[in-house]
Amino acid sequence: MTFELELRGITKRYPGVLANDAVDLAVRPAEIHAIVGENGAGKTTLMSLLYGLFPPDEGEIFIRGERVEFSSALEAIAAGLGMVHQSFKLFPTLSVADNVVFRQEPRRRGLIDRAASVARVRELADRYGLAVDPEAVVEDLPVGVLQRVEILKALYRDANVLILDEPTAVLTPQERDKLFEVIRRLRDAGGTILFITHKLGEVMAISDRVTVLRNGRAVADLVTAETDPAEITLHMTGRAVDLDRRAPEHEPAQVVLKVDSLTVIGEHGRPAVADASFEVRSGEIVGIAGVAGNGQSELIEALCGLRETDGGAVSLVGMEITGADVAGRRSAGLAYIPEDRYAVGTIRQASVSENLLLGHHRNPSIQHRGWFDRQAVARLARRLVEVFDIKAGSVSGPVSTLSGGNLQKVVVAREMEQGTPLLIAEQPTRGLDIGAIEFVHGQLVRFRDQGGAVLMVSAELSEILALSTRILVMFEGRIVADLDPSKVAEPEIGLYMTGAHLEKAVA
Amino acid sequence: MLRRFPDFLGDMSRRALVSPVTFSLFFAFALAGAIVAVTGGDPLAAGEEMVTGAVTGSGLRNTLGRAVPIVGMALAVSIAFRSGIINLGGEGQMVIGGLAGTMVAIYVPGPGYLIVPLAMLAGAVVGAVWGLLPAYGQTWLRLPILITSLLLNYVARAVTGYLVRFHLLDDAVTLTSTRQVPEAARMPKMPVFGGVSLSLILVMVLVALLWMVYTRSVAGYESQMTGFNMRSARYGGIDVEQRTVQVMVVAGAIGGLIGTHLIIGEALRFIDGELVLAGFAWTGLLVSLLAVNRPIPIFITGLFFSGLQIGGLAMQRNAGVSWRLSQVLQAVVIVAVACRLSVWRSERRRAEPSEADAAGVGEV
């Protein structure tokens, strides 16, 4: 048979790294083909090679039996490939239709025919069951809809093969289910979908076949119906892992963090955090669930001193820190794993050891009167690299060469090392592979078991459910629920996350 | 993931060969030689005059002397750039500090070993204050330092011009100038290479000090991290505003020191407008950019640029080739280095599939 898409012996080398090692991939027409692997396994590189972003060192690409060589993404698009990136590439102030037809606008007498573009986008959306209003302005739309706009962009350019890169990372469970419907409909209409993910549940739910990458090699090509998550995990990691580790029973001890009626006014003058009150005790992990953009980031930034508050009080181990600056809060006993490990948590131009110091560089154990004890710094860095198993060439090498998982280990190592009473962990495992997720979860649990208090924000409900002692749900800046994870199911949390509980209450 | 290259020394020499600096120098000199040849000169003779003019006899003294303001101003701008602050006010800080130092040297009586340091101190303090203005403008009023520091250059010129013209004028000469700095209050010259200003030592101490600060002090670490990534710096509890103020104070102080040196060590009178003519602040800025804001490379690059300028003058005298050719050389080196840098960077960006893409979520 002719494959829709076939990669043969694709190899890509970077100095010292074999990113893709003779990868074979065969995708049949009208199938949903999942590509799974840990971060650093070579998924992103493989897709970039396929999409013409840079050429492979060796190997061939065939589309419907014909050998192709792309020197740019434009050529890949012309050959019928469409990619939906994880970060959306849309013009926020333009309409959905304008975004979709961009650079291929229908024209009439040399001018853009707006009516025709709206009509064509509407027709396309209806055909594939993508619920999108072509005339809506992009910046007013929720994330799930933006993703549909990206899919429409690809379909408008006649994509036969749609590549979705970690498409569910930003979606609520309900949005995810809708996306799956769309994907199935596309397949039934004859489209081929490459679905990149590291979530096994999604692989099982949506894919027809699955290719597993590990260390740059394609180690397995499986029919989904004939395999199970355990087998895939084994291929991904080379060993078995257990993610569903429930929090053990324990007694919550004294209050570490006390937040009282905290209000933060957001960018548009509306409260981003409204009257939030809660406590975190030592020996517990409090998970904050919610769809991204419902005030979690603002709440955390306010707690960490990175954002001004507009009412309420915060205290840390009994000490009032409402007006303290970042340094003051850190020395009062706050550690913080930020959401964005690339733009905030680490400094890409700095070395591994410089990154391991950040935020604790005034600690008297490594500096005297403003001069670093260089041996103490080196010892600290070497010890953290060893204890947390950070895979770095050298501690004085640039941190930018580390993989995502190792970068997060740098952040986790740095923040955990200080033995503070409170750890705030914001999306601590986003974008990480299973091995790294397991590691970070293990560290959070260890921190809790040593008597630390953890406040965790996560968009992953499974993560919240697996780790939390209590679950707070944020919706539109308010804490709308305080739940016991042993007595609540995922769909119920989803209702709170989307505000549906409010409608229920009214009805 | 990252493996070190096994042959470290081989790698170093390979890097030196492919380094943009090596290439740029070669390219610049080749082009300059071609220009000389096309205009009917002898490139080899011109080159020889340039080199001998820069490093032999009084040429060496002049090269070292001119390196003082070039390196000094480069250091001043480098510490701002390293913190991510675009301080274009070096010239104003130099001029206003220079006048303050000159006034102390002229009007405060006392022995040289007291007056010279006092004059330098006064220059540094006033230069620092001039640096503080844009710093507070940014931290209090959110006026970008880039704009205010640049505009304050003109204010500094006008203020010093006014003071010299109406309050400090020396009626004995036809220049718009202060009196001459008295003998005792002049920066001493060292008995090496025919008399090099003691300020060279000061600049070398500054180079060493800044190297120390940036390699092993908390202040240097915080400054560098702020320059790398301001968001991360804030996250790490670094008081970015306070660092901005401190950096501008130090940058302004160095500017004031250099300005004072240029009067009490070189010109001996503060002539209105004269201090900005040589463009040391701007040459220093280029030097700092070429040396990627590192103190020791700044020293070497500053010496090289100084040598180019002095050698260019010698070339004009002895080989009949216009000294402007050395300005062409300087410009070509800068352009070539800048181009090579950007080519190299974009190659790197292409070669590394961005991990950051995997993290960017919800970007609309």
pLDDT digit string, tens, across residues A240-249? 555 555 555 5
For chain A, say whether B363 makes contact (Cβ under 8 Å): yes
**Per-residue pLDDT tens over the stretch B277-287:** 888 999 999 99
Q: How far, in Å, CA of A483 to CA of A470, rounded?
A: 6
Q: How far is CA B335 from the centre of its chain?
A: 18
pLDDT at position A1 is: 67
Whether the Cβ atoms of residue B225 and residue B238 lie closer than 8 Å to each other = yes
Whether the Cβ atoms of residue A452 and residue A420 lie closer than 8 Å to each other = yes
Choose between A314 and B340: higher pLDDT. A314
Q: How many CB atoms lie within 10 A of CB A25?
A: 20
Q: How far, in Å, CA of A165 to CA of A423, rounded?
A: 31
CA nearest to B270, candidates B144, B125, B135, B119: B119
- When scoring A336, A342, A409 by the number of chain B Cβ atoms within 10 A, the one with the most, hence best to mutate, is A342
> Which of B228, B239, B364 lies closest to A349 in CB terms?
B228
Q: How far, in Å, CA of A398 to CA of B2, rounded?
A: 10
Q: Where are the alpha helices (DSSP H) in A79-188?
A: 96-101, 114-127, 143-156, 173-188
Proportion of chain B above pLDDT 90, given as a percent:
60
Residues of chain A positioned with their CB less than 8 A from the CB of B359: 340-343, 404, 430-431
Residue of chain B nearest A374, judged by CA positions: B216
Q: How far, in Å, CA of A369 to CA of A114, rounded?
A: 66
Torsion of CA B195, B199, B200, B202, to 10 degrees: 150
Residue with tokens 């065969």: A26
Kindly tell me if the per-residue pLDDT of B2 is higher than 60. Answer: no
- Res. A202 pLDDT band, cuts 50 70 90: confident
Taking an 8 Å cut-off on Cβ atoms, the answer to whether B229 and A348 are in contact is yes
Structure tokens at A403: 């993989």
Residues of chain A positioned with their CB less than 8 A from the CB of B237: 325-327, 329-330, 359, 362
Kindly tell me if the per-residue pLDDT of B340 is higher than 80. Answer: no
Taking an 8 Å cut-off on Cβ atoms, the answer to whether A48 and B350 are in contact is no
For chain B, say whether A327 makes contact (Cβ under 8 Å): yes
For chain A, say whether B207 makes contact (Cβ under 8 Å): no
pLDDT at position A145 is: 87
Residues of chain A numbered 95-134 and touching chain B (CB < 8 Å):
none
Proportion of chain A above pLDDT 90, given as a percent:
46
Buried b (16+ CB within 10 A) or exposed e, B140-151: eeebebeebbbe
> Which of B4, B234, B361 lies closest to A326 in CB terms?
B234
Torsion sign across C-alpha atoms A361, A367, A370, A375? negative
For chain A, say whether B225 makes contact (Cβ under 8 Å): yes
Q: How far, in Å, CA of A278 to CA of A303, rounded?
A: 12
- When scoring B3, B11, B211, B221 by the number of chain A Cβ atoms within 10 A, the one with the most, hence best to mutate, is B221
Residue of chain B nearest A393, judged by CA positions: B2
Q: How far, in Å, CA of A488 to CA of A470, rounded?
A: 11
Strands A66-68 and A319-320: unpaired
Closest approach of chain B CAs to the CA of A325, in angstroms? 8
ipTM of the complex model: 0.81
Taking an 8 Å cut-off on Cβ atoms, the answer to whether B221 and A372 are in contact is yes
Kindly tell me if the per-residue pLDDT of A146 is higher than 80. Answer: yes
Q: How far, in Å, CA of B139 to CA of B145, rounded?
A: 9
- Interhelix angle B324-351/B295-319, rounded to 10 degrees, is 140
For chain A, say whether B239 makes contact (Cβ under 8 Å): yes
- Output DSSP code: residue A401: G
Structure tokens at A16: 């010292």
Mean pLDDT, rounded, for A287-300: 86
CB pairs under 8 A between A and B: 148
Q: Which domains does chain A have, with CATH numbers?
A: 5-237 (3.40.50.300), 255-506 (3.40.50.300)
Strands A422-426 and A453-457: parallel
Choose between A110 and B126: higher pLDDT. B126
A416 Cβ neighbours under 8 A, 6+ residues apart: A335, A423, A443, A447
Taking an 8 Å cut-off on Cβ atoms, the answer to whether B235 and A402 are in contact is no
Q: How far, in Å, CA of B301 to CA of B288, rounded?
A: 8
Break chain B into its structural domains and give their ranges.
Answer: 72-278
For chain B, say whether A40 makes contact (Cβ under 8 Å): yes
- Output DSSP code: residue B188: P
